[in-house]
Amino acid sequence: MHRHRRLYLFALLALLLAPLAWAEPVTFTLTNGTDEVITEFYAAPPGVDEWEEDILGEDVLAPGESVSITIADGREDCVYDFLAVFEDESELEHDGISICGGETYTYQ
């Protein structure tokens, strides 16, 4: 009986901790490969109609500069749509970008 209780508790603990195993943050480097200053940068899962908050916040990303970005939204996959807003208020959206390996993504 004592053995079954331990097995039950172990299974319960595994179920409770399972979401933590896939909820690891994704970190990648964003490089501005354009000739314009990026003033806002957004990421969202594919198919979502609204963007979250501006990842850069008060910062900007000048041409040739890079920044490390961490997305900790608890999703299992690491494919995102990106939106960059430039100093001249133009926008450039890139869809279905995989950042699983922590690589550098150059916005061009």
What is the model's pLDDT at position 108?
93
pTM: 0.77
CATH class of 24-107: mainly beta
10 pLDDT exceeds 80? Answer: no
d(CA 22, CA 2): 31
pLDDT digits (tens, 9 = 90+) for 32-56: 999 999 999 999 999 898 998 999 9
pLDDT at 63: 98
- Residue 107 backbone dihedrals phi, psi, to 5 degrees: -80, 115
pLDDT of residue 76: 85
Q: How far apart (Å, rounded) are the C-alpha atoms in residues 97 and 108?
A: 13
Q: Could you give the strand order of the β-sheet that contains 66-71, starting from the edge strand earlier in sequence?
A: 66-71, 26-32, 104-107
